[in-house]
Amino acid sequence: EAEVAQSPRYKITEKSQAVAFWCDPISGHATLYWYRQILGQGPELLVQFQDESVVDDSQLPKDRFSAERLKGVDSTLKIQPAELGDSAMYLCASSLGRTGELFFGEGSRLTVL
Amino acid sequence: AQSVTQLDSQVPVFEEAPVELRCNYSSSVSVYLFWYVQYPNQGLQLLLKYLSGSTLVKGINGFEAEFNKSQTSFHLRKPSVHISDTAEYFCAVRKSGNTPLVFGKGTRLSVIA
């Protein structure tokens, strides 16, 4: 069964350092999402892509976060500089169409020291 | 804006007992409703979804949910839980169209032997 791939699974970094996460959605899924999940909370949307275009990045802290999906396939989420409050699970998801459910990757857990 | 309220943050239940996890949503338009399950340090897995049609939806692992439009609820039920059902459960809603999922804060189900 096709899966959403994410890497790294775990990342420990010091504050003020740069960190990047990678996501490869299920083949053929045009819509890609990045969510952030703080421990004990539900996922919150950071950015949504349709192919290579950003559809919604209203909740992305643009002073330190950036996201790209250059060829409309895989995507990278970057944080620079990382802050203590960025410690969370970063989840990537993809979907096929308007009514389709989101398929999630295993997530990337970030710890900022 | 849409929102999802999961009324119980934690639900302890004995093995083989029935369980209901409550979810209410707010939206003035037609919505699609989902329940996801998350095991520790993993991504989210779809349990079931309501798009249209029958208001009683059956999902994986013996779970089912009932859509109640008048009460704007989508409660999740299982007649007999197992130890392996111990996990975090998230209710989510999305409007029609290519919109992201909005999640509740989650309910931690703990099954006691």
**In a 3-state reduction of DSSP, which class is residue B88?**
strand
* Tokens 């007992």 -> residue: B17
* Tokens 């740069």 -> residue: A18
Q: Tell me whether A51 touches chain B (CB under 8 Å).
A: no
Q: Which two tokens stand for residue A9?
A: 């699974």
Residuewise pLDDT in 10s, chain B (113 residues): 778 999 999 999 999 999 999 999 987 677 899 999 999 888 899 999 998 888 999 999 999 999 999 999 999 999 999 999 999 999 999 887 778 899 999 999 999 99
Q: How far is B48 from chain A (nearest CA, A)?
A: 9
Residue contact B103–A43, C-beta within 8 A = yes
Q: Tell me whether A105 touches chain B (CB under 8 Å).
A: yes
DSSP secondary structure letter of residue B71 = T
Q: What would the pLDDT profile of A44-80 be if each residue is shown by its tens digit? A: 999 999 999 999 999 999 999 999 998 889 999 999 9
Q: Specify whether the CB–CB gap between A55 and A95 falls below 8 A.
A: no
Q: Tell me whether B103 touches chain A (CB under 8 Å).
A: yes
